[in-house]
Amino acid sequence: MGWDFSTEPEFQQKLDWVEQFCREEVEPLEYVFPYAVRSKDPKIRGLVRGLQDQVKAQGLWAIFLDEDLGGPGYGQLKLGLLNEILGRYSSAPQMFGAAAPDTGNMEMLAAYGTEEQKERWLTPMLNQELWSAYSMTEPQGGSDPNLFRTFATRDGDEWVINGEKWFTSAGRVADILFVMCTNGMFVVPRLTPGVEIQPEPRNHNHIIYNEVRIPLDHLLGPEDGAKVLAQRRLGGGRIHHAMRTIAQCKLAFDMMCERALSRESHGKTIAEHQMVQEKIADSYASIAMLRLFVLETAWKIDHTSTQETRTDIAAVKYSMAKVLREVSFNALHILGSLGTTNLTPLQAMYAAAPTMGIADGVDEVHKSTVARNVLKGYRPHEGYWPTEYFPAKRKAAQEKFEPLFTADPELRVLADGYAKYFAGRS
């Protein structure tokens, strides 16, 4: 299949607007009023609503939802290009109603929720009146659903959930928790008795579900359908994360290039030192290759499905963590001591890289998935020698040309001459 690298002029105008809006409006608000989107103060809420009204007027609210789920339906490629801009500014995804973990949870609600569930939870989440968290991984099994133990037992007109979840990001500040049990996906209000959020970790919470009782209608999708819902949630989400990661890489790259031209060492700018040039060149190539890989994967999803593109999605996931780690490390070194402080984004960026290699499944699992899927397209060779074994290929080629040699003996003489040459060389 061919792939067009161009962007329609109308959509490029959208991208240009988003870039200018984030730089001139979203980022300044973030520095004056941190975490403004979640603020309860009416004055700060008014500032946020004013910006979000501009986003909605551009048709860019909740950009992650497909058209059949009530969103703009941009598709993964255009969504990737938008996220490449949003990812540079920490509060931009929330300002556009497109921040994790709410995005994936809203997508599950939109795709699998009943009309009553959508009215109760999805609409308030879209309006940012309700915040959510995704409670999936467990202490004993990480992200492997085959090792999960959290289970919901039906008791009359209620479900009773017992189990333990680890690394529920933003669980402490969520209004509702999407809890993945071995027998289904359940929506649990955080204040439900029995939801025990442990003191540590502070941001990615350890939660014990101790005899948590919820109504029957808090089951999302079919019973025993948790794995299907989880795959729907995680597949496209990894592309969003990848493009936002590229935005972070480009931010680090911009910082290292600016610094290289601004500082001197041993009588010349550090940009003139070959080891600095090597870091810049390697970073440039790594970012460019990852970006093209992610956009191609997004394009494939748009033309097939997340299921058919699962090998590339898995490869993107572990590649983005590797590139972020390398580029942020290079930038940190070029900035020197300043890069090790919390006065620039670099320290947090570099610290986040290992986490990215673990979140949504450790990189090693995704690498195994890629290898297994790739190997399905191959077969073992017959006999001792691989397909590209030169002596066997030459013999097969000689047999193919035998009719020509019979018809033209001079051609055989020429071929024998080449055969003797190769035999003598070996």
385 has a pLDDT exceeding 90: yes
Beta strands in 330-417 (DSSP E): none
397 has a pLDDT exceeding 80: yes
* Angle subtended by helix axes 226-262 and 274-303, to nearest 10: 150
Residue 362, helix vs strand vs coil: coil
Contacts of 75 by beta carbon, 8 Å cutoff, 6+ apart: 298, 301, 302
What is the predicted pLDDT for the residue at 45? 96
More confidently predicted of 241 and 290: 290
Structure confidence at residue 67 as a pLDDT band (50, 70, 90):
confident
1 has a pLDDT exceeding 60: no
Residues 207-234 have pLDDT tens digits of 999 999 999 999 999 999 998 898 777 6
What is the predicted pLDDT for the residue at 236? 58
Average of per-residue pLDDT across 302-317: 91
What is the predicted pLDDT for the residue at 144? 85
122 has a pLDDT exceeding 60: yes
Q: CA-CA distances (angstroms) from residue 105 to 1, 131, 355, 402, 425? A: 33, 10, 21, 66, 65
- Please determine, looking at this structure, whether the domain spanning 132-220 carries the CATH number 3.30.1300.10: no
Q: Of all residues in the chain, what percent carry a pLDDT higher than 70? A: 98
Phi, psi of 240 (to 5 degrees): -60, -45
Average of per-residue pLDDT across 366-382: 95
What is the predicted pLDDT for the residue at 145? 87
Residues 338-357 have pLDDT tens digits of 999 999 999 999 999 998 88
Q: Output Rg (C-alpha) for the chain, integer angstroms.
A: 27
What is the predicted pLDDT for the residue at 69? 77
- DSSP state at residue 322: H
191-195, 275-279, 351-355: range with lowest mean pLDDT: 351-355
CA triplet 9, 14, 15: central angle to 5 degrees? 95
Q: For residue 201, is the peptide bond before it cis, meaning its omega torsion is within 30 degrees of 0?
A: yes
Chain-wide mean pLDDT for the chain? 93
Q: What CATH number belongs to 227-375?
A: 1.20.140.10
Q: CA-CA distances (angstroms) from residue 246 to 58, 79, 80, 274, 349? A: 24, 14, 10, 25, 12
What percent of the residues of the chain are helix, what percent strand, and what percent coil, each to the nearest 5?
60, 15, 25
Q: For residue 101, is the peptide bond before it cis, meaning its omega torsion is within 30 degrees of 0?
A: yes
In this prediction the pTM is 0.88
Round to whole Å and give the CA distance between 392 and 247. Answer: 50
- Please determine, looking at this structure, whether the domain spanning 9-113 carries the CATH number 3.40.50.620: no
Consecutive H or E run containing 135: strand 132-135
Domain parsing of the chain, residue ranges: 9-113, 132-220, 227-375, 390-425
Both tokens of 150, joined, read 């959290």
What is the predicted pLDDT for the residue at 142? 85
90 has a pLDDT exceeding 60: yes
